[in-house]
Amino acid sequence: MNRLDTNLPRSDVIDRDFLEHRAKLIDIAAFLDRCERADGTDDFRLRALRTAIPLLIDGQPERARRILESFSDPTSEPIPEAPGKGASGAWEGSS
């Protein structure tokens, strides 16, 4: 939460941000629909996304932190070489 938001009434935050986040939620739904229509099987990224979605509505604090952690590698030992050419957005060992 933005530090400035702590002084705003909830209705002001909703008025300001609702449409933006409604669109993002619809984008996620469309992405999941496209994945389900496509041939093939889920990979670790889609499984990680599906695992993170319930955290959005669980009513617990710090959703953003907990969702980010659900995508992150919890191990503390470095690996000798990173797989692939770049970040994938989710830890391959998640879910």
Query: Do 24 and 10 have their domain in common?
Result: yes
The pLDDT score that the predictor gives to residue 87 is 73
Q: How many distinct structural domains can be found in the chain?
A: 2
The pLDDT score that the predictor gives to residue 86 is 67
Query: Do 26 and 46 have their domain in common?
Result: no
Q: In angstroms, how far apart are the furthest CA atoms of the chain?
A: 50
Q: With respect to residue 87, please indicate whether it lies within any of the assigned structural domains.
A: no
Query: Do 49 and 34 have their domain in common?
Result: no
Domain that holds residue 52: 41-71
Query: Do 23 and 48 have their domain in common?
Result: no
- Tokens 């996304």 belong to 49
Q: With respect to residue 56, please indicate whether it lies within any of the assigned structural domains.
A: yes
- Fill in the amino acid letter for 63: R
What parts of the chain have a pLDDT lower than 70? 1-5, 84-86, 94-95
What whole-number distance in Å separates Cα of residue 11 and Cα of residue 29? 25
Q: With respect to residue 83, please indicate whether it lies within any of the assigned structural domains.
A: no
